[in-house]
Structure 1
Amino acid sequence: MRRFLLTLLALAAFTLSTLVPVQAASVVPAGNRNVEQPAVPGASKRRTKAGKTTFDRKYAKVVRLLARDKKLISKIKSIAGQYGIAPIHMVGALVGEHTYNVDAYDRLQSYYVKAAAYSGDKFRFAYEGQSIQQLIALPQFADCASSSGSYELWTCRERVWNKSFRGKNVGGMAYPNNRFSAVFFQPFYAGQTFGLGQINPLTALELSDLVSRVSGYPKLDENDAGEVYASIMDPDKSLAYMAASIRMSIDEYRKIAGVDISGNPGITATLYNTGNPRERAYELKARGAGTLPEENYYGWLINDKLAELEALL
């Protein structure tokens, strides 16, 4: 009860500090809407098979990491409080990522060691010799310049990419029919998400303002890929970006769709997995009042294992 009250107080403080309008919202009840787990994508199955493991083993491994690392749990609680979210949302996202996307390292220290290998100036965000700086200087992106913050700026640029560049030939350059993050923010084709929180570099750029304001980390610059990677590979900073992502999802669903998803870790985990909470909130709103969001395979697992995961806290 004490933890619950502290979380509510943190949420209220965060709401006031960020000027997010407080309005009545339909509360999404706890638990899964689907009786059975939705299908797991083939790509996730192939990755797991290639690693000669299973989803059950990967789940057990990340739960063991969390259970024995009290310092990590303490950091999760602290950072969750700063962003006004219950820590179970962060635990759910961590467990989902390391069950379905990557295998967890045995020790948290391994993430710090790995982060050091990604620092420096050896990386740049580019495609076929065209840097991200050159791309966003093109006239198609001009309207995005008036965006009020990093989230609005980069989601605008992503929309422009999808409309004007994805799968098209522009100015003699043939662009792949693929996501913005995969084409320009995956320079060495070693995966699209990184670190303890499995953060995508584009997602980090979107959340840069929020993380800077709440956690005090310097704002990220797309022209300094090394610093972006250093931020999402460092476990402490990665947790801040994870919390910011969850906070953003909760706020977008409340503001746009009029639903409160803060009591359902399976839904926030689903959005952590799928991304684009603003777009998905508008899609939910378009389906009409009373429509509740549903968990995907990833979020379903979190709600199904909720009692075990809450025990870690």
Structure 2
Amino acid sequence: MVALSSPGLGFLVNKAYAQSVRVVPEGNRYRSQPKIPYASARRTSASKSSYDAKFNKVLGVLKRDRRLMSSIKRVAKRYKIDPIHIIGSIVGEHTYNYDTLDSAQSYYVKALAYAGIRFEFELDGEQVEDFVKRPQFDRCRKDHVQKSSDRRWSCYEQVWNSRFRGKRVDGTKYPSKNFNEAFFQPLYSGQSFGLGQLSPLTVLKMTDRVARQSNFRKLKSTNPEAVYKATMDPNQSLHYMAAIIRDAIDAYKSVGKVDISKNPGLTATLYNLGDPWSRAAKFRRSGKSWPRENYYGWLVNDRIEDLNALL
């Protein structure tokens, strides 16, 4: 019997693992762009613009802002991802999910403005940290869940959706809103903010990973000002963007047994959709050859030459 610590066995196990993970080819699996959601079309129409105009505008901003491009490259290196993944996510967000990107500088200004505002992450006067102490959230207090900010906040989100969202509980009727909308929108009705269009909930999920790979402190929901600063200040938000992308790559490699790191359209798709670990598991069960891009990721792959030119 060979000991588990045997170097030879370790080599064989690593080799077998490496062989079991397939690299997703570059490009799109769909020949034509999947349908764009109505909400995106409505926003673009309301701004009297077009997708091509918005794409070209954000491309122009990135082309002019060498400081921002330098930061993107530096952060991408720290998280061991190709900077094209961050660029693709920025372009996708500002082409489809936001009016347009005028300049990165505007986000620095907004981050400073938010720093002087006092607010809470709460619902009807009850802070989220107190709300999740209810017995319905008992499974989220297990040690293995609490050790990870991603697992912890994902668990809270799942319990909210299954036990509270749109339901009457102990005589109280709760709004039919997602967890982020219900507790983390004290300033505006929008769901996401900043260069990467991050939500406060997503930032809280990624705080452990960012703290491990950067010099930023872990964020807490009891300090909403710091959370909003992380969403708005490009000096911080780029780290959270990179962490989200790194997490998606890790999820599909670990659970889906495919390496999506060579396909920016797929990482952009997951950046847009979220929940990469569940999606990776669903892909593995589906038996499909390769994961597929959505409308947002399709654009990134379709215009990859334009994006690569920025680098």
The reply to whether TM is greater than 0.5 is yes
Q: Distance in 2 between matches of 1:164 and 1:105?
A: 38
Tell me the number of residue pairs that the alignment of Structure 1 and Structure 2 aligns.
Answer: 292
Does the 8 Å contact 1:121/1:225 carry over to 2? no
Q: Which residue of structure 1 lines up, in the alignment, with residue 308 of structure 2?
A: 310
- Distance apart, 1:128 and its partner CA: 2.1
Q: Distance in 2 between matches of 1:246 and 1:175?
A: 32
In the alignment, does 2:298 pair up with 1:294?
no
Q: Distance in 2 between matches of 1:247 and 1:173?
A: 39
In the alignment, does 2:194 pair up with 1:195?
yes
Does the 8 Å contact 1:150/1:208 carry over to 2? yes
Q: Distance in 1 between matches of 2:258 and 2:114?
A: 39
Same amino acid, percent of matched pairs: 50
Does the 8 Å contact 1:66/1:73 carry over to 2? yes
Query: Secondary structure of the residue that 2:89 maps to in structure 1?
Result: helix
TM-score normalized with structure 2 length:
0.90
Q: Deviations over 1:244-279 (max 9, x none)?
A: 000000001111111110000000000000111111
In the alignment, does 2:205 pair up with 1:171?
no
Q: Deviations over 1:129-171 (max 9, x none)?
A: 2221221111111221221210111111111112211221112
Q: Which residue of structure 1 lines up, in the alignment, with residue 267 of structure 2?
A: 268
Q: Distance in 2 between matches of 1:279 and 1:61?
A: 34
Does the 8 Å contact 1:141/1:157 carry over to 2? yes
Q: Distance in 2 between matches of 1:181 and 1:92?
A: 24
Query: In terms of mean alpha carbon deviation, does 98-107 or 235-244 score higher?
Result: 98-107
In the alignment, does 2:134 pair up with 1:135?
no
Q: Which residue of structure 2 lines up, in the alignment, with residue 44 of structure 1?
A: 40
- Distance apart, 1:285 and its partner CA: 1.4
Amino acid across the alignment from 2:103: R
Does the 8 Å contact 2:194/2:232 carry over to 1? yes
Q: Distance in 1 between matches of 2:50 and 2:181?
A: 26
Q: Which residue of structure 1 lines up, in the alignment, with residue 203 of structure 2?
A: 204
Query: Secondary structure of the residue that 2:49 maps to in structure 1?
Result: coil
Does the 8 Å contact 1:193/1:199 carry over to 2? yes
Task: Pick the structure with greater CA Rg.
Answer: 2
Q: Distance in 1 between matches of 2:281 and 2:183?
A: 26
Q: Distance in 1 between matches of 2:99 and 2:69?
A: 19
Does the 8 Å contact 2:43/2:99 carry over to 1? no
Amino acid across the alignment from 2:180: S
* 1:1-313 to 2 correspondences below 5 Å: 23=18, 24-120=20-116, 122-145=118-141, 146=143, 147=145, 148-288=147-287, 290-313=288-311
Amino acid across the alignment from 2:108: Y
Query: Secondary structure of the residue that 2:255 maps to in structure 1?
Result: helix
Q: Structure 1: 5+ residue runs without aligned partners? A: 1-21
Q: Distance in 1 between matches of 2:24 and 2:101?
A: 34
Q: Structure 2: 5+ residue runs without aligned partners? A: 1-16
Q: Which residue of structure 2 lines up, in the alignment, with residue 3 of structure 1?
A: none
CA RMSD of aligned residues (A): 1.5
